Amino acid sequence: MESLEAELTRASDLDVAELADAIETIGFECTRCGACCKGYESDDGEREPHTATVFPDEARELQDVTDYDQRSGEAASGSSSGTSLEWRDVARPMPYGLVDGDDGPEGETFEWALQTDACGDCTFYTEDDDGMGACQVHDDRPLICETYPFSVALGGTSQPMGEAVDEEGMVRAHECEGLGRDISREEAEELARALKTRAVRELQEAVGVRDNYRPVDTDDGDVVVYDSEGPKNVDGTPR
């Protein structure tokens, strides 16, 4: 198995033109169905929340999107227009590794996921009167959202929403009704550049998590999140 550093070098050497070729071959156009932003029904009938990785610096950028509540009506913590969002408005601990305690989730986990609403949908997702989905922070959305439904086949990079349904060279495509549609070369290249950036960032984050991992004691009902900056509390403050 290649080291994270070796995979990071491979990610840095990815050819954007080749990635764009693969994206063109697969084809893609967003239909604004919202499936990649919403919770879903699992095989056992349970409602599963939307889970998309957000890096620490991306979460901080989203905290500064001060017109969010102007567009949505109300931010998760009830912040007023012109003020920054709280960390918990933006990010929640990645659920993997946590268990249900008497007062909610507890345990240890790695990395953060975008915050969700009571229905399990991304907190920044909305629909217009015609039922078309929209991201309220589209210009500041995380890389995993910007590049969906694609990922790069490198060790240490993530596969959003399960295994790939199509693959072309280094590019994997994941379940999405927009796959197979025509995409312009300009759009394919823009998506390819973002895909390369995401692959590099994911591996940089993985190296950071490894290098800054420092086990801390936890109490009952406690949650610790280990990210590339070290252990943190659920509100994003250092542990």
CB 160 within 8 Å of CB 11:
no
The more confidently predicted of residues 41 and 151 is: 151
In this prediction, residue 159 has a pLDDT band, given cuts at 50, 70 and 90, of confident
Which residues are CB-contacts of 60 (< 8 A; sequence separation ≥ 6)?
Answer: none
pLDDT value at 37 more than 70: yes
Query: Structural domain boundaries of the chain?
Result: 4-232
Average pLDDT over residues 32-61: 90
pLDDT at 179: 97
DSSP bridge pairs for 92 = 113
pLDDT at 66: 63
CB 72 within 8 Å of CB 188:
no
pTM listed for this prediction: 0.88
Count Cβ atoms within 10 A of the Cβ of residue 3 and give its class: 0-12 exposed, 13-18 middle, 19 or more buried.
exposed
Which residues are CB-contacts of 146 (< 8 A; sequence separation ≥ 6)?
Answer: 194, 198
pLDDT value at 177 more than 90: yes
pLDDT at 104: 82
